[in-house]
Amino acid sequence: MKVTVFGSGYVGLVTGACFAEAGNHVVCVDIDAGKVERLQQGEIPIHEPGLDEIVRRNHHKGRLRFTTSAEEGIAHGLFQFIAVGTPPGEDGSADLSHVLAVAETIGRHMADYRIVVDKSTVPVGTADKVRERIEHTLAERAVKVEFDVVSNPEFLKEGAAVGDFMKPDRVIVGTDNPRTAELLKTLYDPFTRNHERMIVMDVRSAELTKYAANAMLATKISFMNEVANLAERMGADIEKVRVGIGSDPRIGYSFIYPGAGYGGSCFPKDVKALVHSAGELDFDAELLKAVEAVNKRQKQLLFRKVNAYFDGRLKGRTIAVWGLAFKPNTDDMREAPARELMEALWAAGAKVRAYDPVAMGEARRIYGDRPDLALVASSEAALEGADALVVVTEWQEFRSPDFDLIRDSLKHPVVFDGRNLYDPSLLRTFGLVYHAIGRGEPLVA
């Protein structure tokens, strides 16, 4: 089948590459000429395990093409996927300008029947706006062309996106047209052959499903962080509590790991957008506001622990930071807890020696060269001359470090573990002071 994807960012590139891997002919359209040129040369702009190989293979075989020509893309594909960014505004609302610009472009060049698919995460009612924009543009051209607008939200986890697309838990399709649903079913059949995973519903329900899913996962994280902070004050170990409640199948173990707060491009943005949408309907989304507030406080917790340990005297000290990305297996630092930590440390007069297996380039892009940040080549190098170690991202290579080396390298033998990677009793045997999340006496009130 012929597929066009507008946007070659995270969602668009994964979508286009995986459709091509199944034998479809895909054209990815992007307004960034430099990005298109790099993609044509096999350079992948994001870190996503397995994606580079799929992109290069299908581009080499001619099934995956990249272009800046919207007209070429619209002429190519029966399916027109919109996978452009919807950045949050200051009020938390989702910026739909890029989505509607693509809709207008489709209306300007469309000559035959097209299925326009909203793949971007968008507020409820966006499909109606896309339809209206296309209809208005067609009317300006004084032509009539049949088209459908479908909601098909993505459920891709950064770091596991290729696997999520190739073997999805579910494929949500929002449409009121049975024929369109059948065409989408044909497109997705290669990915759902072992088990029927397509769920068809009305468009608005599909749009809300995406927001509700991310808001639910964010709620679980904030709830667990809230209980962790309570456990710390009660002398309980949140990791034992986690195992105890996770064994209940109604709760399960997913997304109940306490830590330094959630980040990334999805959860923070989508919770804010859902709160904003509720406000527009004169509904006070109290629970979602609390989820957001708890997460904001949690992202400040590591700094507060470090600051309390050193009695507020951080000026001139050096802190080693392990992990900069908001989660493992990605270089994404958007809304990352490490950013909150480092910026607070700098404001207090401290220096940072940081290491991340893949996000060093992204850190340089964000912060540039500054005297209070040393981006080093290894976790061991980060320890050199540091007063303390803070673990922020749970990369696999941080799970079994050389604790003797950590103790001997640090000026103060103290580890702040924002992901509860280590056994407190084990670290004590190595002579290390250990402060984690929800595991012992609180350093902060």
Residues involved in catalysis: 266
Q: Which of 112, 172, 121, 122 is nearest to 148 (CA)?
A: 112
- Pairing verdict, β 171-174 and 79-82: unpaired
User: Do the Cβ atoms of 173 and 201 come closer than 8 Å?
Assistant: yes
How is 141-166 classified by DSSP, letter by letter?
HT----EEEEE----PPTTSHHHHHH
Q: Is the dihedral angle over the CA atoms 167, 172, 178, 180 positive or is it negative?
A: negative
Q: Which of 89, 77, 169 is nearest to 114 (CA)?
A: 77
Strand order in the sheet with 433-435: 373-375, 351-355, 318-322, 388-391, 414-417, 433-435
CA distance 243 to 253: 8
Structure tokens belonging to residue 124: 């409820």
Strand order in the sheet with 79-82: 64-67, 25-29, 2-6, 79-82, 114-118, 147-151, 171-174, 198-201
- Pairing verdict, β 373-375 and 351-355: parallel
Please count the helices (runs of H) and the strands (runs of E) in the chain.
Answer: 18, 14
Between the CA of residue 214 and those of 153, 157, 201, 208, what are the distances in Å? 12, 11, 19, 10
Amino acid, res. 32: D
Q: Exposed e or buried b for every residue in 316-339, given b needs 16+ CB within 10 A?
A: ebbbbbbbbbbbbbbbbbbbbbbb
Q: H helices within 63-117, ranges in order?
A: 70-76, 97-109
CA distance 38 to 45: 8
DSSP collapsed to 3 states, 266-285 = CHHHHHHHHHHHHHHCCCCC
CA distance 339 to 422: 23
CA distance 346 to 350: 5
Helix, strand or coil, per DSSP, at residue 94: strand
Phi and psi at residue 66, to the nearest 5°: -125, 140
